[in-house]
């Protein structure tokens, strides 16, 4: 007998195992992000941590 599963909506945004290098400089390595509809998330970190690169990948610039 199958157990009924609640409807789980698909994420509005999902990135799995994302990496980006600029020449020999590794900007991102194995980044995972999942955000659902109506959720608020913040990407924070030190200078050079890859925040802008992550956002540019999300937007399709990179």
The DSSP symbol for 4 reads P
pTM of the entire structure?
Answer: 0.75
d(CA 23, CA 35): 30
Q: What is the pLDDT of residue 3?
A: 73
Q: What is the pLDDT of residue 10?
A: 87
Q: What confidence tens digit (pLDDT) does each residue in 6-25 have?
A: 787 889 999 999 999 999 99
Bridge partner residues of 34 (DSSP): 14
């Amino acid at each position: 007998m199958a157990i009924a599963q609640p409807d789980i909506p698909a994420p509005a945004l999902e990135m799995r195992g994302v990496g980006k290098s600029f020449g020999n400089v590794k900007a991102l390595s194995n980044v995972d992000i999942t955000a659902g509809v109506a959720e608020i998330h913040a990407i924070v970190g030190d200078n050079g941590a890859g925040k802008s690169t992550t956002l540019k990948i999300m937007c399709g610039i990179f």
